Structure 1
Protein backbone atom coordinates (compact mmCIF):
# COMPACT_ATOMS: atom_id res chain seq x y z
CA UNK A 1 0.00 0.00 0.00
CA UNK A 2 2.91 2.37 0.70
CA UNK A 3 4.01 2.07 -2.92
CA UNK A 4 0.58 3.24 -4.07
CA UNK A 5 0.65 6.24 -1.71
CA UNK A 6 4.10 7.25 -2.98
CA UNK A 7 2.82 7.54 -6.57
CA UNK A 8 -0.81 8.66 -6.29
CA UNK A 9 -1.05 10.57 -9.56
CA UNK A 10 -0.29 7.63 -11.86
CA UNK A 11 -3.02 5.30 -10.63
CA UNK A 12 -6.07 4.88 -12.82
CA UNK A 13 -9.56 4.48 -11.34
CA UNK A 14 -9.83 0.90 -12.59
CA UNK A 15 -6.55 -0.05 -10.88
CA UNK A 16 -7.75 1.52 -7.65
CA UNK A 17 -11.02 -0.44 -7.74
CA UNK A 18 -9.16 -3.73 -8.21
CA UNK A 19 -6.65 -2.92 -5.44
CA UNK A 20 -9.50 -1.96 -3.09
CA UNK A 21 -11.31 -5.26 -3.83
CA UNK A 22 -8.18 -7.32 -3.15
CA UNK A 23 -7.23 -5.42 0.00
CA UNK A 24 -10.73 -5.63 1.48
CA UNK A 25 -10.58 -9.43 1.09
CA UNK A 26 -7.12 -9.63 2.68
CA UNK A 27 -7.67 -7.10 5.46
CA UNK A 28 -11.19 -7.41 6.80
CA UNK A 29 -12.85 -4.02 7.09
CA UNK A 30 -10.33 -2.09 4.96
CA UNK A 31 -12.07 0.98 3.55
CA UNK A 32 -10.18 2.69 0.74
CA UNK A 33 -11.01 5.91 -1.06
CA UNK A 34 -9.54 7.50 -4.19
CA UNK A 35 -9.90 11.31 -4.19
CA UNK A 36 -7.82 13.85 -6.11
CA UNK A 37 -5.71 10.99 -7.50
CA UNK A 38 -4.71 9.89 -3.98
CA UNK A 39 -5.45 6.59 -2.31
CA UNK A 40 -6.47 6.95 1.31
CA UNK A 41 -7.40 4.39 3.92
CA UNK A 42 -10.45 5.47 5.88
CA UNK A 43 -10.44 4.35 9.53
CA UNK A 44 -13.08 1.95 10.77
CA UNK A 45 -15.75 3.83 12.73
CA UNK A 46 -15.78 3.62 16.51
CA UNK A 47 -18.90 3.12 18.66
CA UNK A 48 -19.71 6.81 19.09
CA UNK A 49 -19.30 7.34 15.34
CA UNK A 50 -21.86 4.57 14.77
CA UNK A 51 -24.28 6.09 17.30
CA UNK A 52 -24.13 9.44 15.50
CA UNK A 53 -25.01 7.76 12.20
CA UNK A 54 -27.82 5.85 13.96
CA UNK A 55 -29.13 9.14 15.44
CA UNK A 56 -29.11 10.80 12.01
CA UNK A 57 -30.71 7.78 10.32
CA UNK A 58 -33.62 7.83 12.79
CA UNK A 59 -34.23 11.54 12.19
CA UNK A 60 -34.14 11.10 8.41
CA UNK A 61 -36.52 8.11 8.47
CA UNK A 62 -39.00 9.93 10.72
CA UNK A 63 -38.87 13.14 8.66
CA UNK A 64 -38.52 11.73 5.15
CA UNK A 65 -39.57 8.02 5.02
CA UNK A 66 -39.08 7.92 1.24
CA UNK A 67 -35.33 8.42 1.77
CA UNK A 68 -32.63 6.21 3.26
CA UNK A 69 -29.19 6.98 4.69
CA UNK A 70 -27.00 4.54 2.75
CA UNK A 71 -23.49 3.26 3.42
CA UNK A 72 -22.58 3.29 -0.28
CA UNK A 73 -19.36 3.94 -2.20
CA UNK A 74 -19.79 6.80 -4.68
CA UNK A 75 -18.21 7.93 -7.93
CA UNK A 76 -17.09 11.50 -7.20
CA UNK A 77 -14.98 14.40 -8.51
CA UNK A 78 -15.60 16.48 -11.60
CA UNK A 79 -15.18 13.56 -14.02
CA UNK A 80 -16.43 10.83 -11.66
CA UNK A 81 -12.95 9.27 -11.55
CA UNK A 82 -12.76 9.52 -7.75
CA UNK A 83 -14.17 6.97 -5.32
CA UNK A 84 -15.46 8.05 -1.91
CA UNK A 85 -17.07 6.19 0.98
CA UNK A 86 -19.23 8.74 2.79
CA UNK A 87 -20.35 7.79 6.27
CA UNK A 88 -23.85 8.28 4.87
CA UNK A 89 -25.51 9.12 1.56
CA UNK A 90 -29.09 10.34 1.85
CA UNK A 91 -30.96 9.28 -1.27
CA UNK A 92 -34.33 7.90 -2.41
CA UNK A 93 -35.04 4.37 -1.24
CA UNK A 94 -33.94 1.75 -3.77
CA UNK A 95 -31.97 4.16 -5.98
CA UNK A 96 -28.72 2.16 -5.83
CA UNK A 97 -30.21 -1.17 -6.89
CA UNK A 98 -27.88 -3.01 -9.26
CA UNK A 99 -25.08 -0.42 -9.13
CA UNK A 100 -22.42 -2.40 -7.27
CA UNK A 101 -19.73 -1.15 -4.91
CA UNK A 102 -19.27 2.28 -6.56
CA UNK A 103 -22.56 3.94 -7.46
CA UNK A 104 -23.39 7.00 -9.50
CA UNK A 105 -23.87 9.95 -7.11
CA UNK A 106 -26.68 11.64 -9.09
CA UNK A 107 -29.53 10.51 -6.78
CA UNK A 108 -27.69 11.58 -3.60
CA UNK A 109 -29.31 14.55 -1.86
CA UNK A 110 -26.75 14.78 0.95
CA UNK A 111 -23.37 13.26 1.73
CA UNK A 112 -22.52 12.86 5.43
CA UNK A 113 -19.16 12.62 7.18
CA UNK A 114 -18.45 12.24 10.88
CA UNK A 115 -14.87 13.09 11.84
CA UNK A 116 -12.59 10.30 13.00
CA UNK A 117 -9.59 10.13 15.31
CA UNK A 118 -6.88 9.93 12.65
CA UNK A 119 -4.33 12.41 11.35
CA UNK A 120 -6.02 12.66 7.93
CA UNK A 121 -9.38 13.89 9.25
CA UNK A 122 -8.73 17.57 8.54
CA UNK A 123 -7.50 17.07 4.98
CA UNK A 124 -10.05 14.37 4.12
CA UNK A 125 -13.27 15.62 5.76
CA UNK A 126 -12.76 19.40 5.70
CA UNK A 127 -10.87 19.91 2.42
CA UNK A 128 -10.96 17.02 -0.06
CA UNK A 129 -14.46 15.65 0.55
CA UNK A 130 -16.31 19.00 0.36
CA UNK A 131 -14.54 19.74 -2.90
CA UNK A 132 -15.22 16.27 -4.37
CA UNK A 133 -18.89 16.34 -3.36
CA UNK A 134 -19.32 19.89 -4.73
CA UNK A 135 -17.67 18.88 -8.02
CA UNK A 136 -20.10 15.96 -8.18
CA UNK A 137 -22.92 18.45 -7.45
CA UNK A 138 -24.30 16.62 -4.43
CA UNK A 139 -26.71 19.29 -3.13
CA UNK A 140 -25.69 19.10 0.56
CA UNK A 141 -22.68 17.98 2.56
CA UNK A 142 -23.20 17.49 6.30
CA UNK A 143 -20.05 17.42 8.43
CA UNK A 144 -20.44 16.35 12.05
CA UNK A 145 -17.16 17.46 13.60
CA UNK A 146 -16.52 15.61 16.85
CA UNK A 147 -13.28 17.46 17.61
CA UNK A 148 -14.77 20.96 17.25
CA UNK A 149 -18.23 19.90 18.58
CA UNK A 150 -19.82 21.56 15.55
CA UNK A 151 -22.16 20.67 12.73
CA UNK A 152 -21.53 22.23 9.31
CA UNK A 153 -23.98 22.24 6.42
CA UNK A 154 -22.44 22.89 3.01
CA UNK A 155 -24.91 23.88 0.30
CA UNK A 156 -25.20 25.42 -3.16
CA UNK A 157 -22.50 23.48 -5.05
CA UNK A 158 -21.26 25.37 -8.09
CA UNK A 159 -19.24 22.51 -9.60
CA UNK A 160 -16.03 23.59 -7.86
CA UNK A 161 -17.03 24.24 -4.26
CA UNK A 162 -19.99 24.81 -1.99
CA UNK A 163 -20.92 28.49 -1.98
CA UNK A 164 -22.64 28.40 1.42
CA UNK A 165 -21.37 26.87 4.67
CA UNK A 166 -23.42 27.20 7.86
CA UNK A 167 -21.83 25.99 11.12
CA UNK A 168 -23.44 25.66 14.55
CA UNK A 169 -22.10 24.31 17.85
CA UNK A 170 -23.54 21.11 19.27
CA UNK A 171 -26.79 21.91 21.06
CA UNK A 172 -28.14 24.41 18.53
CA UNK A 173 -30.62 23.39 15.85
CA UNK A 174 -29.42 23.38 12.25
CA UNK A 175 -31.63 23.32 9.17
CA UNK A 176 -30.78 21.12 6.21
CA UNK A 177 -32.16 23.15 3.28
CA UNK A 178 -33.85 21.83 0.14
CA UNK A 179 -33.79 19.23 -1.23
CA UNK A 180 -33.57 17.61 2.24
CA UNK A 181 -35.60 20.11 4.30
CA UNK A 182 -35.05 18.63 7.77
CA UNK A 183 -34.10 20.46 10.98
CA UNK A 184 -31.65 18.67 13.25
CA UNK A 185 -31.83 19.22 17.01
CA UNK A 186 -28.15 18.62 17.84
CA UNK A 187 -28.28 18.42 21.64
CA UNK A 188 -27.81 14.62 21.55
CA UNK A 189 -24.44 15.04 19.83
CA UNK A 190 -22.97 16.35 23.08
CA UNK A 191 -23.15 12.79 24.42
CA UNK A 192 -20.72 11.62 21.72
CA UNK A 193 -18.28 14.55 21.69
CA UNK A 194 -14.54 13.87 22.00
Structure 2
Protein backbone atom coordinates (compact mmCIF):
# COMPACT_ATOMS: atom_id res chain seq x y z
CA UNK A 1 0.00 0.00 0.00
CA UNK A 2 1.35 3.42 -0.88
CA UNK A 3 1.67 6.13 1.78
CA UNK A 4 -1.06 8.27 0.26
CA UNK A 5 -3.65 5.46 0.40
CA UNK A 6 -2.56 4.43 3.89
CA UNK A 7 -3.20 7.97 5.11
CA UNK A 8 -6.50 8.44 3.31
CA UNK A 9 -8.98 10.12 5.72
CA UNK A 10 -12.12 8.42 6.89
CA UNK A 11 -14.40 10.96 5.23
CA UNK A 12 -14.41 14.36 3.56
CA UNK A 13 -15.23 17.58 5.36
CA UNK A 14 -18.22 17.97 3.06
CA UNK A 15 -19.58 14.58 4.13
CA UNK A 16 -19.01 15.50 7.78
CA UNK A 17 -20.93 18.75 7.39
CA UNK A 18 -23.82 16.90 5.72
CA UNK A 19 -23.82 14.30 8.50
CA UNK A 20 -24.05 17.03 11.15
CA UNK A 21 -26.84 18.74 9.24
CA UNK A 22 -28.87 15.53 9.16
CA UNK A 23 -28.02 14.28 12.66
CA UNK A 24 -30.59 14.37 15.47
CA UNK A 25 -30.48 17.79 17.11
CA UNK A 26 -29.24 16.47 20.45
CA UNK A 27 -26.21 14.85 18.78
CA UNK A 28 -25.05 17.65 16.48
CA UNK A 29 -22.90 19.48 19.01
CA UNK A 30 -21.18 16.22 20.00
CA UNK A 31 -19.74 15.53 16.55
CA UNK A 32 -16.29 16.78 15.58
CA UNK A 33 -14.02 16.31 12.58
CA UNK A 34 -10.36 16.13 13.61
CA UNK A 35 -7.47 14.95 11.46
CA UNK A 36 -9.83 13.47 8.89
CA UNK A 37 -11.66 11.44 11.54
CA UNK A 38 -15.14 11.56 12.96
CA UNK A 39 -14.98 12.09 16.74
CA UNK A 40 -17.65 12.20 19.45
CA UNK A 41 -17.41 14.68 22.31
CA UNK A 42 -18.63 14.20 25.91
CA UNK A 43 -18.21 10.43 26.00
CA UNK A 44 -19.20 7.68 23.56
CA UNK A 45 -22.64 7.29 22.07
CA UNK A 46 -24.77 4.43 23.33
CA UNK A 47 -26.07 1.96 20.77
CA UNK A 48 -29.50 3.61 20.54
CA UNK A 49 -27.93 7.02 19.84
CA UNK A 50 -25.70 5.42 17.22
CA UNK A 51 -28.66 3.85 15.43
CA UNK A 52 -30.35 7.26 15.27
CA UNK A 53 -27.22 8.83 13.80
CA UNK A 54 -26.68 6.00 11.29
CA UNK A 55 -30.28 6.22 10.12
CA UNK A 56 -29.85 9.93 9.42
CA UNK A 57 -26.45 9.68 7.67
CA UNK A 58 -26.20 10.58 3.97
CA UNK A 59 -25.67 7.78 1.44
CA UNK A 60 -21.99 8.69 1.10
CA UNK A 61 -21.33 8.00 4.81
CA UNK A 62 -21.40 4.40 6.09
CA UNK A 63 -21.28 4.20 9.88
CA UNK A 64 -20.46 1.29 12.19
CA UNK A 65 -20.38 0.96 15.99
CA UNK A 66 -17.35 -1.08 17.06
CA UNK A 67 -15.96 -1.36 20.60
CA UNK A 68 -18.31 1.41 21.69
CA UNK A 69 -16.95 3.85 19.10
CA UNK A 70 -18.49 5.28 15.95
CA UNK A 71 -16.45 4.23 12.91
CA UNK A 72 -16.65 5.40 9.31
CA UNK A 73 -16.38 2.66 6.69
CA UNK A 74 -14.71 3.53 3.38
CA UNK A 75 -16.84 3.77 0.24
CA UNK A 76 -15.91 0.86 -2.08
CA UNK A 77 -13.87 1.49 -5.22
CA UNK A 78 -14.18 -0.33 -8.54
CA UNK A 79 -11.93 -3.28 -7.69
CA UNK A 80 -13.76 -3.70 -4.39
CA UNK A 81 -17.07 -3.96 -6.26
CA UNK A 82 -15.66 -6.42 -8.81
CA UNK A 83 -14.37 -8.67 -6.03
CA UNK A 84 -17.80 -8.67 -4.42
CA UNK A 85 -19.43 -9.74 -7.70
CA UNK A 86 -16.80 -12.48 -8.07
CA UNK A 87 -17.73 -13.83 -4.64
CA UNK A 88 -21.44 -13.78 -5.49
CA UNK A 89 -20.80 -15.78 -8.66
CA UNK A 90 -18.61 -18.30 -6.83
CA UNK A 91 -21.20 -18.79 -4.14
CA UNK A 92 -24.05 -19.29 -6.61
CA UNK A 93 -21.98 -21.79 -8.58
CA UNK A 94 -21.15 -23.98 -5.59
CA UNK A 95 -24.14 -23.36 -3.29
CA UNK A 96 -27.27 -22.29 -5.22
CA UNK A 97 -29.18 -22.33 -1.91
CA UNK A 98 -27.04 -19.46 -0.54
CA UNK A 99 -26.83 -15.77 -1.29
CA UNK A 100 -24.19 -13.12 -0.57
CA UNK A 101 -26.08 -10.10 0.76
CA UNK A 102 -24.21 -6.83 0.33
CA UNK A 103 -24.03 -4.00 2.84
CA UNK A 104 -25.61 -6.02 5.63
CA UNK A 105 -25.96 -4.43 9.05
CA UNK A 106 -25.45 -6.98 11.83
CA UNK A 107 -25.53 -6.93 15.61
CA UNK A 108 -22.00 -7.98 16.47
CA UNK A 109 -19.76 -8.24 19.57
CA UNK A 110 -20.58 -9.66 22.99
CA UNK A 111 -24.24 -9.23 23.98
CA UNK A 112 -24.87 -7.77 20.48
CA UNK A 113 -23.89 -4.22 21.52
CA UNK A 114 -21.89 -3.67 18.32
CA UNK A 115 -23.32 -2.65 14.97
CA UNK A 116 -21.13 -3.80 12.07
CA UNK A 117 -21.86 -3.05 8.44
CA UNK A 118 -20.44 -6.04 6.59
CA UNK A 119 -19.36 -5.88 2.98
CA UNK A 120 -21.31 -9.11 2.66
CA UNK A 121 -23.22 -11.67 4.68
CA UNK A 122 -23.66 -15.22 3.41
CA UNK A 123 -26.96 -16.83 4.36
CA UNK A 124 -29.70 -19.03 2.97
CA UNK A 125 -31.83 -17.41 0.28
CA UNK A 126 -34.64 -15.42 1.90
CA UNK A 127 -32.94 -15.20 5.28
CA UNK A 128 -33.23 -11.42 5.63
CA UNK A 129 -36.89 -11.16 4.67
CA UNK A 130 -38.65 -8.88 7.16
CA UNK A 131 -35.45 -7.76 8.90
CA UNK A 132 -34.70 -4.15 9.79
CA UNK A 133 -31.42 -2.32 9.17
CA UNK A 134 -29.55 -4.24 11.92
CA UNK A 135 -30.03 -8.01 11.96
CA UNK A 136 -29.27 -10.59 14.61
CA UNK A 137 -26.49 -12.91 13.50
CA UNK A 138 -28.51 -16.12 13.90
CA UNK A 139 -28.58 -17.77 10.49
CA UNK A 140 -25.66 -15.82 9.05
CA UNK A 141 -23.17 -18.45 7.91
CA UNK A 142 -20.31 -16.08 7.11
CA UNK A 143 -19.41 -12.41 7.36
CA UNK A 144 -17.38 -10.99 4.48
CA UNK A 145 -15.03 -8.02 4.44
CA UNK A 146 -12.99 -6.75 1.48
CA UNK A 147 -10.21 -4.44 2.61
CA UNK A 148 -10.20 -0.82 1.47
CA UNK A 149 -7.21 1.44 1.11
CA UNK A 150 -7.84 3.66 4.11
CA UNK A 151 -5.74 4.06 7.22
CA UNK A 152 -8.18 2.25 9.51
CA UNK A 153 -8.30 -1.01 7.55
CA UNK A 154 -5.73 -2.84 9.68
CA UNK A 155 -7.43 -2.09 13.00
CA UNK A 156 -10.96 -2.48 11.69
CA UNK A 157 -10.84 -5.52 9.39
CA UNK A 158 -7.91 -7.49 10.86
CA UNK A 159 -8.29 -6.77 14.59
CA UNK A 160 -11.75 -5.57 15.60
CA UNK A 161 -13.97 -7.40 13.10
CA UNK A 162 -12.62 -10.92 13.85
CA UNK A 163 -13.35 -10.35 17.54
CA UNK A 164 -16.80 -8.87 16.95
CA UNK A 165 -17.90 -11.59 14.57
CA UNK A 166 -16.50 -14.38 16.74
CA UNK A 167 -18.27 -12.98 19.80
CA UNK A 168 -21.50 -13.00 17.76
CA UNK A 169 -20.88 -16.68 16.89
CA UNK A 170 -20.79 -16.17 13.12
CA UNK A 171 -19.28 -19.50 11.96
CA UNK A 172 -16.94 -18.07 9.32
CA UNK A 173 -15.31 -14.69 8.76
CA UNK A 174 -14.03 -14.33 5.19
CA UNK A 175 -11.49 -11.54 4.75
CA UNK A 176 -10.43 -10.74 1.20
CA UNK A 177 -7.23 -8.85 1.91
CA UNK A 178 -6.11 -6.62 -0.95
CA UNK A 179 -2.92 -5.56 0.81
CA UNK A 180 -1.45 -9.08 0.84
CA UNK A 181 -3.44 -10.48 -2.16
CA UNK A 182 -4.85 -13.30 -0.06
CA UNK A 183 -8.13 -14.75 1.10
CA UNK A 184 -8.04 -15.21 4.89
CA UNK A 185 -10.57 -17.62 6.40
CA UNK A 186 -11.41 -17.45 10.11
CA UNK A 187 -13.50 -20.29 11.55
CA UNK A 188 -14.54 -22.13 14.73
CA UNK A 189 -15.58 -19.24 16.98
CA UNK A 190 -15.14 -19.98 20.67
CA UNK A 191 -15.00 -17.64 23.67
CA UNK A 192 -14.84 -14.56 21.45
CA UNK A 193 -12.03 -15.76 19.20
CA UNK A 194 -11.76 -17.73 16.00
CA UNK A 195 -9.75 -20.84 16.71
CA UNK A 196 -8.70 -21.50 13.10
CA UNK A 197 -7.19 -19.00 10.65
CA UNK A 198 -6.09 -20.04 7.16
CA UNK A 199 -4.61 -17.81 4.45
CA UNK A 200 -4.79 -18.56 0.71
CA UNK A 201 -2.80 -16.44 -1.78
CA UNK A 202 -4.79 -15.28 -4.79
CA UNK A 203 -4.51 -17.87 -7.55
CA UNK A 204 -4.70 -20.85 -5.18
CA UNK A 205 -7.87 -22.72 -4.11
CA UNK A 206 -9.37 -21.31 -0.91
CA UNK A 207 -11.15 -23.97 1.10
CA UNK A 208 -14.15 -22.76 3.08
CA UNK A 209 -15.10 -24.90 6.10
CA UNK A 210 -18.54 -25.88 7.37
CA UNK A 211 -21.21 -24.65 7.18
CA UNK A 212 -20.14 -23.38 3.71
CA UNK A 213 -18.19 -26.46 2.58
CA UNK A 214 -16.96 -25.36 -0.82
CA UNK A 215 -13.72 -24.17 -2.41
CA UNK A 216 -13.22 -20.75 -3.99
CA UNK A 217 -11.38 -20.50 -7.29
CA UNK A 218 -9.35 -17.33 -6.63
CA UNK A 219 -7.53 -17.08 -9.98
CA UNK A 220 -9.68 -14.14 -11.11
CA UNK A 221 -8.72 -12.12 -8.04
CA UNK A 222 -5.25 -11.61 -9.51
CA UNK A 223 -6.90 -9.26 -12.04
CA UNK A 224 -7.81 -6.94 -9.17
CA UNK A 225 -4.40 -6.65 -7.52
CA UNK A 226 -3.72 -2.95 -6.83
Q: TM-score, normalised by structure 1?
A: 0.94
**In 2, Cα distance between the equivalents of 1:52 and 1:154?**
19
SS of residue matched to 2:149: coil
Aligned to 2:99: 68
User: Structure 1 segments of 4 or more deviating over 6 A?
Assistant: none
Where in structure 2 are there 5+ consecutive unaligned residues?
Answer: 1-30
Aligned to 1:50: 81
**Structure 2 residue 184 is matched with structure 1 residue 145:** no
Deviations 1:75-115 (A, max 9, x none): 11111011011111000111111111101111110101000
Cα drift, residue 2 of structure 1 = 2.5
**In 1, Cα distance between the equivalents of 2:41 and 2:111?**
20
Aligned to 1:37: 68
After TM superposition, list the pairs within 5 Å mapping 1:108-119 onto structure 2.
Answer: 108-119=140-151
**In 2, Cα distance between the equivalents of 1:192 and 1:143?**
15
Deviations 1:34-61 (A, max 9, x none): 0110110101101110000000001111
Where in structure 1 are there 5+ consecutive unaligned residues?
Answer: none
Cα drift, residue 124 of structure 1 = 0.4
Cα drift, residue 9 of structure 1 = 5.7
Aligned to 1:21: 55
**In 2, Cα distance between the equivalents of 1:152 and 1:7?**
36
After TM superposition, list the pairs within 5 Å mapping 1:78-117 onto structure 2.
Answer: 78-117=110-149
Partner of residue 158 from structure 1, selected from 161, 180, 190? 190
SS of residue matched to 2:59: coil
Distance 1:86 1:135, change over 3 A: same
**Structure 2 residue 90 is matched with structure 1 residue 59:** yes
Count of residue pairs the alignment pairs up: 191
**In 2, Cα distance between the equivalents of 1:122 and 1:35?**
14
Cα RMSD (Å) of the superposition? 1.4
**In 2, Cα distance between the equivalents of 1:63 and 1:153?**
17
**In 1, Cα distance between the equivalents of 2:95 and 2:219?**
21
Cα drift, residue 63 of structure 1 = 1.1
Instruction: Select the structure of larger CA radius of gyration.
Output: 2
SS of residue matched to 1:45: coil
Aligned to 2:163: 131
